[in-house]
Structure 1
Amino acid sequence: MQRPKGNDVRRAAFDGPPELAAFFRKGRLETIPAGRDRRHALLVHVASRFEPGREYGEDEVNRILQPVHSDHATLRRYLVDAGLLRREHGIYRRG
């Protein structure tokens, strides 16, 4: 049996849109895309981890984002800046 190579390994561990697979390795985000469109697509994918209408404390948001990327604080800020998460008085909601 052949082992998957290169992008096949990335795709095997990634459950999102194929155009974002290059940014992931073994299910973790390695690089946040610099391009606006790809970054937004990535953020939409990450935001899907949050239930609409549910409230989250910052610690819980961090626990959800830590397995995605080592810099979960930057990822959280990007989600808020993009309007995909809303923050009010330390409570986060999916936008």
Structure 2
Amino acid sequence: MKRDIAGEALLRDTGKLWVEAGSVIALRTARIGLGDPEAGDEMVRMVTEKVWAGWEVGMALATGQFGHDPETVCRRTVNHYRRAVRKNLRRLSAND
């Protein structure tokens, strides 16, 4: 049986996104729950980033920038979100 290397990579990257996003959620929740003076700014940033990231993905999908093959589209979508999540994880971790 032939291994689906690309599918395995997509599954691995999706799993990493799931773990990294959970870490960002935990760090943000702690910051907000502890009454951090910057918590209000963090909440605004959180909503703004989600809207912006969704718009970027929507535009990329609508214009074909993520390709047309379902696996390629999925991989590029996951990678798009992972970049944003990792950026937040680095920023939030640096403030601890």
* Category of TM-score, reference length = shorter chain: under 0.3
The structure that has the greater radius of gyration is 2
- Whichever structure has more strand as a proportion of its residues is 1
TM-score, normalising length from structure 2? 0.25
Structure possessing the higher relative contact order (Cα contacts under 8 Å, 6 or more residues apart): 2
**TM-score with structure 1 length normalisation?**
0.25
